[in-house]
Amino acid sequence: MSKKYIFVAGGVMSGVGKGTAAASIAKILQHKGYEITAVKIDPYINIDAGTMNPVEHGEVFVTNDGDETDQDVGSYERFLERPIPSGNYMTTGRVYLSVINRERALKYNGKCVEVVPHVPQEVIDRIKKAATANKADITIIEIGGTVGEYQNILFLEAARMMKLANPKDVLTILVSYLPIPKSVGEMKSKPTQYASRTLNETGLQADFILARSEEPVDEPRRRKLSVFCNIDPGSVISSPDVSSIYLVPALYEEQHLGEKILKKLHLKPKKDEMTDWINWANQIQTYNTEVKIGIIGKYFSTGSFVLSDVYISVIEAIKHAAWANNRKPVLTWLNSEDYEQDPKKVKELSNFDGIVIPGGFGNRGVEGKISAIKYIRENKIPYLGLCYGMQLATVEFARHVAGMKDANTTEINPKTTHPVIHIMPEQEKKLLALDYGGTMRLGAYPCILKEGTKSCDAYSPMLHASCSMLHVSERHRHRYEFNNQYREELEKAGLIIAGTSPDGKIVEIIELKNHPFFVASQFHPEFQSWPQTPHPLFRDFIKAAIK
């Protein structure tokens, strides 16, 4: 069969759940028996998401092959339950860079290289390459931003060119928003009508409109959208807010979206395996017993709003683990700077069943995190530290247990007499050369576990072998690491090195004795937690939190 492509574009405004929509469409088609992959296009100039402030951009999702991508790539992985490679992610910067490099290498054979068609052609080449690399029958391509923005025009142009070349193999889905203004009390369809027209201006016609709103779309609105957006009423898919993103595939399936898409692509369902996922997604709504988890971070506030998107994979991983333990996850954002202004405030940590300190950079809020870790250690609150959360746990232990008063990471204090966390040698060169973009220690690296540790206990059911025999593979994003000069001294003081790189040189996991659960990893386990298969460290952290 010829390869099929589905473009997902947004209408009216950002933040309506285009990523979840794309991932859910991918899921339902996967369960109809097709090989599916998903591509994310971000319209900004940055080569990757790694150089952007998280508050501005949201989470940087790291792939196995070490790409720093958009959080939507994480959604695709979680819904498709398989890794997405770097080739499935592109930005305007990446696309232009290839075109320019090719021009410099004389690969355009002396032709005048133009924005159109050469730039959209590069986009098309990349999409097709991703489809081939993933052996995908159907590729979902999510175009970042909303229609009508200047920035994503060339990507919509790529979609138009692909549709023109193979009309039977390419679909366009518009995920649009229908507001219900309080003062009016009625769902308004006009912004979506405009979005649909704007899409038409690019030469594309929506094959489906996913009508995002607080409420389901009713008949009068469906008819209006049908007439004004030039679409049959059955292709308007009602997509009201639901309590969990994992319910969205079920919502689509109730409206037979999978079959309708396949029909328009001239395909038939090969099987129908959605029931298991739908049952699970309904089941997790029924858990009433809570597990209360606090997440200590600093990237939460933007103006008067709280932005938890920065830690989206961490949040999802906690949820997956809670559900696997038949619990309802209740998450609270804790700002580490509060513990600096008011040290007594750390006592609030006793109100939680467990605490997570996720990754981070720079010195804002660091001393607050260290005070929190001290309290967590002393009061035996289950703790999971991720990357910076591991490095700062090492600093805390060195300071307060091993007696190294000014211990620190050199990221914060390059002059400390006890640099228990220091820059990795190859990273130092990169920083001196101002070579910042995409140069951290990134992507999957193997880790071996020590027998008899909590980490070993967590992973071993998955490994079916003794820990010292097998490697686990985990994803990384860091420049600093545990300083091996302090290994002996810290181990003597009671720190457990529970995981290292296979050559033993890089400390990957630390643990504490005499504590219900104190595990902190240099890697980011949250990037490999799947809804029905939680990450073992998160699963056991929640288990301990419940106890």
Closest CB to ligand GLN among residues 79, 311: 311
Gap between the Cα atoms of 121 and 506, Å rounded:
43
* String of DSSP letters for 109-155: TTPPP-HHHHHHHHHHHHHHHHHHHTT-SEEEEEEEEETT-STTHHH
Active-site pick, 118, 474, 526, 535:
526
* String of DSSP letters for 413-463: -TT-S-EEEEE-HHHHHHHHTT--TT-SEEEEEEEEE-TTSHHHHHHHHHH
Closest CB to ligand GLN among residues 177, 361: 361
Number of residues near ligand GLN (by CB under 6 A): 11
Closest CB to ligand GLN among residues 224, 418: 418
Closest CB to ligand GLN among residues 43, 358: 358
Active-site pick, 31, 118, 157, 387:
387
Question: Least distance to ligand GLN from the beta carbon of 62, Å?
Answer: 9
At CB < 8 A and 24+ separation, what contacts does 234-239 make? 234/260, 235/206, 235/207, 235/208, 235/209, 235/260, 236/208, 236/209, 236/211, 237/208, 237/209, 237/210, 237/211, 238/211, 239/17, 239/21, 239/175, 239/210, 239/211, 239/212, 239/213
Residues 473-492 that bind ligand GLN (CB under 6 A): 477-480
* String of DSSP letters for 310-339: GGHHHHHHHHHHHHHTT-EEEEEEEEHHHH
Tokens of 461: 């059911």
**Residue 459 one-letter amino acid:** Y
Gap between the Cα atoms of 168 and 165, Å rounded:
9
Question: Least distance to ligand GLN from the beta carbon of 418, Å?
Answer: 17
Is position 387 annotated as part of the catalytic site? yes
Is position 456 annotated as part of the catalytic site? no
311 binds ligand GLN, rule: CB under 6 A: no
411 binds ligand GLN, rule: CB under 6 A: yes
Taking CB atoms, the residue at the shortest distance from ligand GLN is 359
Question: Least distance to ligand GLN from the beta carbon of 389, Å?
Answer: 7
Residues 343-402 that bind ligand GLN (CB under 6 A): 359-361, 387-388, 391
Question: Least distance to ligand GLN from the beta carbon of 478, Å?
Answer: 3
Closest CB to ligand GLN among residues 321, 421: 421
Tokens of 503: 């050559």
Helix (H, G, I), strand (E, B) or coil at 345: helix
Closest CB to ligand GLN among residues 212, 479: 479
Cβ contact 366:385 at 8 Å: no
Is position 320 annotated as part of the catalytic site? no
Question: Least distance to ligand GLN from the beta carbon of 297, Å?
Answer: 11
Tokens of 343: 């040290």
**Where is 356: in which H helix or E strand?**
strand 354-357
Question: Least distance to ligand GLN from the beta carbon of 390, Å?
Answer: 8
Closest CB to ligand GLN among residues 21, 520: 520
Question: Least distance to ligand GLN from the beta carbon of 189, Å?
Answer: 43
Active-site pick, 418, 478, 524, 535:
524
Gap between the Cα atoms of 476 and 440, Å rounded:
9
Residues that bind ligand GLN (CB under 6 A): 359-361, 387-388, 391, 411, 477-480
Which residues participate in catalysis according to the annotation? 387, 524, 526
